[in-house]
Chain A
């Protein structure tokens, strides 16, 4: 399809970087899950839960997911524009700078250099590096789109552009800060405003990292793998614009019942419910694409990754808006239910799509498919069962925890101390650790399979 050389080496570089940071982030995650049960594992300052959790979230959101997005984006860009990347050299520089930045990010977070704002913890010098990286990426995306040889831009490219502009806007505005030293700064906003800006960012980081580019990959790699056209172009237009419009209103659903002005909370709640429609438009588009060809769930190893992935996206986008409803937020917020919700999205939706897309890309680049379809199936079942055990255990844990916090005696006094609610969590935390171990085993199989796939041409 493309004219002349393609940027396969950059795609491969980002794919393998992504796998590396995935393994690192998951090992940290397992350690955290074990610390919840055995607090003596907080062996040193850099291993203490408060610092380690930030390494886990940043390592996986930015190390694993962003690298996966870069790999998928460069691959899709070249295919969908029928031309080579506008600046292949810049993409190579981006690959190196990216890995250096993530390594420095991990080290600085281990050292306790963090701003405390969730998913924006990096201190200001690294924020600048992130912005430079993003400009490099944006230049390649826009440059390649401008010189494309395909008249129409496919829906995947729209989501890619939305990702590029949204990350730029929310990341820069939320990280505005006044430095006091090279490793310490204070947010430009105070109190309620800081909270409001932070969760406007926090929610749209989820939108523009865990949603837009993953949908871009879904809209490209599902039809490619299934060898079927996407069900409805018109539905994807409606879904795209209403999703991109609606997301930016909903940040304050992370701040229900806090001192943030009530009208901002209520607007966020309304738009959260509204978002169910465009989210499900993509789910329906995915399901209807398979209409009449559902046998491919069985005959094509990749299709089930994409279909299960979009199913978890659908469940996620129902669960999320319901959590915004005040009565449910009052019961569930601050409990284990929320990590349960987040991990369905990341372990169920994001990882399913990224790992399947990588099998597709690396199989094509190798020129002869992946190393082992059998191992890919083992990987699929391990991450599916691991994720379900993990998330379902935490949902139940959250409902129990919220109920214990609320329970009162006949005279209105509290039935349980806070410590009672901690003690009740240990069985669920054990189930979560087991789920995490299963999931990690699946990812280890994936990593092996992908590395063997990428080695194949040299071996032949």
Chain B
């Protein structure tokens, strides 16, 4: 056959084109589908609960993935900003995957447990009430919409999460109790985002917050050291104690990193009041350093990688001034 006749035989030409595009497809896409090493599975990474599944679908519906990634790259600054880099096992239950392609807002892969629920309720209702320079849309309509759970059992079955309809109903009821009892830690802020008629129901915002709190939590749980802050316990004394300039610099750092949760001049908010000598996790230099650098349960993130030792001590110098002003 004369090779040039390929350009005279359209059907043969189309077949040739299919063969040519199939080679790269086969090697880079099709064969990896059948290699278990492409998507390893770990028992430490749990499937989503019924509520988290609904929350994830709201995340998809609103197109959150258009501005937020969910994959931390193995780069030094990235690990410092967000936490440990993403592992393939963490995506095993994700259909679809939600790694995203653009960070108009920050990566969310390590968001779970970083802040208390109340932080999210307020932030979703109006991001600019907390961060004036933010350009994230406000989502007030999520808190005013009752969560539709008609398809939840079916979704869980299709996704193969391994629990039955009765368990779905139990989880939905249990979660509803959790967020609607008066003793719920974020009850006050949730009530502000939820109309009176829906305060006893599950809303779309409840489900979304549940999903956001799941992100990265399994990995964090698997990697948790003996206790938060233990590695930094050796740091005992503030080198900036009484240093006026350091305290002023600490105030700026506080404004950018702490104010949103601990309130104006440490008056308290989602996080405990800091303008006091009676600190929740202890008031010595070593205690405060451990709290800021290593984080505390209930929503205090770790700041060692982000701020570094020096700036943490400056913030503590500022906190000491707040204590003083309060005395």
Contacts and interface: CB of A to CB of B under 8 A. Distances in A.
Interface string A175-194: 00010110010111111111
Contacts of A165: 14, 17-18, 21
B320 to A, nearest CB: 21
Contacts of A117: 96
B20 A241 contact: yes
A413 B158 contact: no
Interface stretch (A13-21, A295-303, A418-426): A418-426
A49 B63 contact: yes
A186 B158 contact: yes
Nearest to B102: A334
Given A197-B29, A339-B102, A419-B133, A244 B21 contact: yes
Interface string B254-272: 0011000000000000000
A196 B38 contact: yes
A424 B138 CA distance: 21
Nearest to A259: B88
Contacts of B106: 418
Nearest to A192: B39
Interface stretch (B170-178, B222-230, B283-291, B308-316): B308-316
A348 B106 CA distance: 30
A197 B81 CA distance: 29
Contacts of A252: 28
B44 interface: no
B151 A180 contact: yes
Interface in A188-213: 188-198, 200, 204
B98 to A, nearest CB: 6
B257 A417 contact: yes
B243 interface: no
Given A259-B71, A413-B307, A54 B38 contact: no
B234 interface: no
B95 A186 contact: yes
A246 interface: yes
B78 interface: yes
A377 interface: no
Contacts of A335: 103
A146 B37 CA distance: 45
A31 to B, nearest CB: 12
Nearest to B69: A334
Among B8, B24, B158, chain A packs the most CB atoms within 10 A around the CB of: B24
A412 B127 CA distance: 29
A412 B20 contact: no
Contacts of B7: 152-153, 158
Interface stretch (B54-62, B112-120, B274-282): B54-62
Contacts of B71: 258-259
Contacts of B60: 114-116
Given A114-B60, A193-B32, A259-B86, A406 B77 contact: yes
A53 B63 CA distance: 8
A267 B27 contact: yes
B233 interface: no
A413 B63 contact: no
A338 B14 CA distance: 33
A153 B95 CA distance: 43
A192 B307 contact: no
B32 A261 contact: yes
A422 B135 contact: yes
A198 B65 CA distance: 14
B32 to A, nearest CB: 6
B216 to A, nearest CB: 13
Interface in B3-19: 7-8, 10-11, 13-14, 17-18
Pairs of residues from A and B, 5 with the lowest C-beta to C-beta distance, nearest first: A413-B308, A50-B63, A191-B91, A248-B24, A42-B137
30 contacts: A36-B104, A37-B135, A39-B137, A44-B141, A45-B62, A48-B137, A50-B64, A50-B67, A50-B137, A146-B10, A153-B8, A184-B155, A191-B88, A192-B97, A194-B97, A195-B99, A196-B32, A241-B20, A244-B20, A245-B23, A257-B73, A259-B86, A267-B27, A412-B305, A413-B80, A413-B308, A414-B307, A417-B257, A419-B256, A423-B133
